[in-house]
Structure 1
Amino acid sequence: MAEKIYTIPVNDAFNSGCECPLCKLYTDLERESIDFTMGPSYMEDDNRAVTDKMWFCPTHVRMLYAEKNRLGLALMMNTHTNKVIKDLREAVSKGHGTKSGLFSKAGKSAVGTYIDNLEESCFICDRINKIFPRYIDTIFHMWKNDKDFIPKFKESKGFCTYHFGILYDEAPNKLKGKQLDEFTDALVKVYFDNIERVNGDVSWFIDKYDYRNNDAPWKNSKDALPRGIIKSSHTIIE
Structure 2
Amino acid sequence: MDLIGIYLKEAMNEGCPVCRILRSYEESQIDTILYEHVNDPEVRKKFQESLGLCTYHAWKTLKKAYSEPLLGPLGVAIIYESILSRYITSLEERKPLDEGECFLCDLVQQKEKDTVEAFAERIEELLPEYEKSSSILCKRHYEMLLREVGQRDPETADRLRKIQIEKLKGLQKRINSFINKFDYRAEKEPTKEEASSLPLTVEALKGLETGATIREHQEKKRGFLPWR
Specify whether residues 139 and 84 from structure 1 end up closer, same or farther in structure 2 by C-alpha distance, changes over 3 A only.
Answer: same
Q: Distance in 2 between matches of 1:63 and 1:8?
A: 29
Tell me the CA shift for residue 25 of structure 1.
1.1
- Name which of 171, 176, 181 aligns with 2:155: 181
- Name which of 170, 181, 194 aligns with 1:221: 194
- Is 1:27 aligned to residue 29 of structure 2? no
Q: Distance in 1 between matches of 2:130 and 2:179?
A: 30
- Name which of 46, 52, 58 aligns with 1:50: 46
- Name which of 154, 164, 185 aligns with 1:212: 185
Letter in 1 for 2:190: W
Match of 2:131 in 1: 154
Letter in 2 for 1:234: G
Q: Aligned to 2:15, what secondary structure does the other structure show?
A: coil
TM-score w.r.t. structure 2 length?
Answer: 0.77
Greater Rg over alpha carbons, structure: 1
Tell me the CA shift for residue 20 of structure 1.
1.2
Specify whether residues 49 and 181 from structure 1 end up closer, same or farther in structure 2 by C-alpha distance, changes over 3 A only.
Answer: same
- Is 1:127 aligned to residue 124 of structure 2? no
Gapped regions of structure 1 (runs ≥ 5): 94-109
Tell me the CA shift for residue 86 of structure 1.
3.9
Q: Distance in 2 between matches of 1:170 and 1:180?
A: 10
Match of 1:193 in 2: 166
Match of 2:214 in 1: none
- Is 1:85 aligned to residue 88 of structure 2? yes
Specify whether residues 66 and 212 from structure 1 end up closer, same or farther in structure 2 by C-alpha distance, changes over 3 A only.
Answer: same
Q: Aligned to 2:26, what secondary structure does the other structure show?
A: helix
Tell me the CA shift for residue 8 of structure 1.
4.4
Q: Distance in 2 between matches of 1:206 and 1:75?
A: 50
Gapped regions of structure 2 (runs ≥ 5): 210-228
Tell me the CA shift for residue 159 of structure 1.
0.9
Contact 2:57 2:104 in 1 (8 A): yes
Match of 2:74 in 1: 71
- Is 1:168 aligned to residue 140 of structure 2? no
Q: Aligned to 2:38, what secondary structure does the other structure show?
A: helix
Tell me the CA shift for residue 89 of structure 1.
5.1
Specify whether residues 189 and 158 from structure 1 end up closer, same or farther in structure 2 by C-alpha distance, changes over 3 A only.
Answer: farther
Q: Distance in 1 between matches of 2:206 and 2:26?
A: 16
- Name which of 20, 33, 39 aligns with 2:35: 39
Contact 2:119 2:145 in 1 (8 A): no
TM-score w.r.t. structure 1 length?
Answer: 0.74
Contact 2:116 2:141 in 1 (8 A): no
Q: Distance in 2 between matches of 1:84 and 1:180?
A: 52
Q: How does 1:100-139 map to 2 (within 5 A)?
A: 114=98, 117-118=99-100, 121-139=101-119
* Identity rate, percent: 19
Specify whether residues 134 and 87 from structure 1 end up closer, same or farther in structure 2 by C-alpha distance, changes over 3 A only.
Answer: farther
Specify whether residues 8 and 76 from structure 1 end up closer, same or farther in structure 2 by C-alpha distance, changes over 3 A only.
Answer: farther
Q: Distance in 1 between matches of 2:54 and 2:108?
A: 13
Specify whether residues 217 and 167 from structure 1 end up closer, same or farther in structure 2 by C-alpha distance, changes over 3 A only.
Answer: same
Specify whether residues 187 and 86 from structure 1 end up closer, same or farther in structure 2 by C-alpha distance, changes over 3 A only.
Answer: farther
How many corresponding residue pairs?
200
Q: Distance in 2 between matches of 1:198 and 1:30?
A: 27
